[in-house]
Structure 1
Amino acid sequence: MLSDAKIRAAKPRDKSYKLTDSHRLYLLVKPNGSKLWKWNYTYDGKQKTMAFGIYPMVTLLQARAHRDDSRAQLGEGKDPSNEKKLKVEANLNASRHTFERIAREWHDKVKSRWAKVHADDIIHSLARDVFPKIGSLPISSLTPPKILEVLTAVEDRGAIETAKRLRQRISAVFTYAIAKGIAEKDPSEKLATVLKPLPRGRQPAITDLGRLRKMIDDAETDYARPVTRLALRLLALTAVRPSELRGACWNEFEDLNGDEPVWRIPAARMKGDLERKQEVGGDHLVPLTSQAIAVLRVLWPITGAGPLVFPSVRHNSRPMSENAIGYLLNRAGYHGHHVPHGFRAAFSTIMNEWAERHGKKHDRKVIDLMLAHVPKEKVEGAYNRAAFMERRREIAVAWADMLTLSLPPPAVLVSRPIARIDDIFRTSRLERNELNQGCE
């Protein structure tokens, strides 16, 4: 039996010689002074030798542990040398199968299912927030704490929704890796429960007129369907709820060639409970400015053949996706700064400030009426929704004039270059959110 003292005392000789231990383990001392661990064994009737490393990098205790593990493999009918080669190969493969490599492979496999815009967003988000931190690590070695560290860094900059989307994308990469036998489990699977919840409360809105105009111009310059650009413009001009805009039907617009054009949104499409939706005389009246009518005139040749003003690109009988305008704002760089619903807050803030300088006594109430807000002291059925129409039209004109001061006419929005239709829509997400009903 060997000991550390005996091994250290062993001096080199002219020829290599062995210092034997138990169960055919020995230390080969070479003329140059190096000491190598070797183990002889018999497999399938053949004599073989296996190396365990250099002393003292591999200690006596470690060499014996290697020998015992190899003897156990022999007992299972396995060749320890082959098992060692397989293990080395597996480790090499693991080092080659980095998270970034597998993520890009996954992306190449599945990107044809998505619109190009959506596919680009996915790989860009991974390249920005994930690859720099864990991209070079073997995917099979990643743990929940390591992935949580990546997602927490995204949360810490205030991008709560982005962190949640990244977790979903990381999870999809692991699902692919598991299917290929590269990983055994998804360490990101349970992390959704520990991420920060999305903030609730007032939705983000730009309420400075100059910044609002710039945002609209930036979004209208970005790639999109002409219908989406025009929907953004009409939403900004009318300050209606996004759901009311999406469901707009051509037969709701009255007197477009007359002196008092109006958009009559049926009570059934307004926000509220069943009683509100069934209210007689409960239609919401939106006075239309020349700028709003200009948008409709440009839209008519595009969608006028159907009942909906803003139909889905895939189904003329269904409204456009509820996410289309929001994605346009996000692509223009306003994610977290302004949402489609934010035009209502912008209109309320800017026009109430305007009313203080240029307005009349009841303008605050008029502005609330234009937003379809019911005063607290009124009940639904006792509220005159057609009141102050003349003043509402004056305020609408003032708003439209200020808002479009530096914006191009609507016709320009149609002539701007766009991506291919399939590149614009994030099909897998948008189609699920489209309404199933159109206009009567």
Structure 2
Amino acid sequence: MATDTLTDKAIRAALKRAAESGKLERLPDGAGLRLDAQPTGAGWWRFRYRFGGAPRMLSLGVYPEVPLALARQRRDEARAVLAAGRDPSAQRKAEKVERAELAAAHALEDAGLPPTGSFEAVAREWLELVHAVKCSEGHAERTRIRLEQDAFPWIGRRPIAEIEAPELLKTLRRVVDRGAVETAHRLKDACGQVFRYGIATGACGRNPAADLRDALPPVLTRHHAAVIEPAKAGELLRAMADYHGHPITRAALALSALLMLRPGELRQLEWAWVDFDAATLTVPPALMKRKKADKMSGAPHVVPLAPQALAVFRGLHPLTGAGRYCFPSLQTKDRPMSENTVNVALRRLGFDRETATAHGFRAMARTMAVERLGVAPEVVEAQLAHAVAGPLGRAYDRTQFVDQRRELMVRWADYLDRLRDGAQVITLPARSTG
């Protein structure tokens, strides 16, 4: 079959005839190329071919925007694709998708947003749809900041599917090199969750963080400093009793030892939670150290109040009882006291951070109530509101050991009095579970 038979003169004549007659006229040029002269006066270039045994047709543009020479060039390019064993129509669609994706990527970049399919894009989607829903607001915010500061600058714009273990390790080692080993481990855990989410959504095929299990130096755990020897505990309690600072701080010191609460829980106590008649303090679940779901729907943490604790609250009530917080800030009553107030008071009493901390009162209670008073560990754990593994789960935080915990708090307060007064205290070998 002859090829390249058309001329521009013949094309213009055919277009004029089609417009005058109102009928389609087809002009072959050979090798599958033809021009369809439409009654509208437009000429459409078509390339007819067979692929996989089936007839196909590919549009190559409109004459005269696509002149004869360009139409023949596009036909020859399509024939080359066919010779390589590919379908020109399918390739054109793939190229169109690729151009659209590239344009979208440029638009995101111009807007300061991460490219689709990048580590940062997947991570931000995980942060919003999964992490923020599951965790507390503070925890989710810390994870976001950690990723923004230590991961996104290095691997954020990289396609998540292309990131391998060595590249992720290099990112984590930057954090280790500045001495933040624990942060590096937390960052690895967060990245691992992002990759797992990416696998679930089809953004990537594997989790390289899982290959780094032993690639980072271990975290050297440093516990909060705590006084756990009776003699030294007596010295601390006597110093606290002689504290001459602000009376609100003095009350916070005393209750830090008596209530076994976390410092963050203690400083945010509200008078509405204190029941003098029932001798209890009811801390709402939203304030407790729990997962987000348990903060929203879990049971409150009930703290039985020994007579000594009630006496401290009664002495504090004339000072702050007209407001919301038991321990308001000295600057404004609209927010609680600073998280550093008790620690600063301990420093003023001569106890450095290697000796005693606000959080250390919990460790003191956990150790001494078991070892010195013979209280069953599970009862103390329940009062500390620690998560408990096993079939009972969080039941300890709800209804378990109610009577035993009330007995514990009274015995603990009496024991602290004896330590403060310098009385001889002996260890009880037997443990009571009530």
When normalised by structure 1's length, the TM-score is: 0.44
With CA pairs under 8 Å and 6+ residues apart, which has the higher RCO, 1 or 2? 1
When normalised by structure 2's length, the TM-score is: 0.45
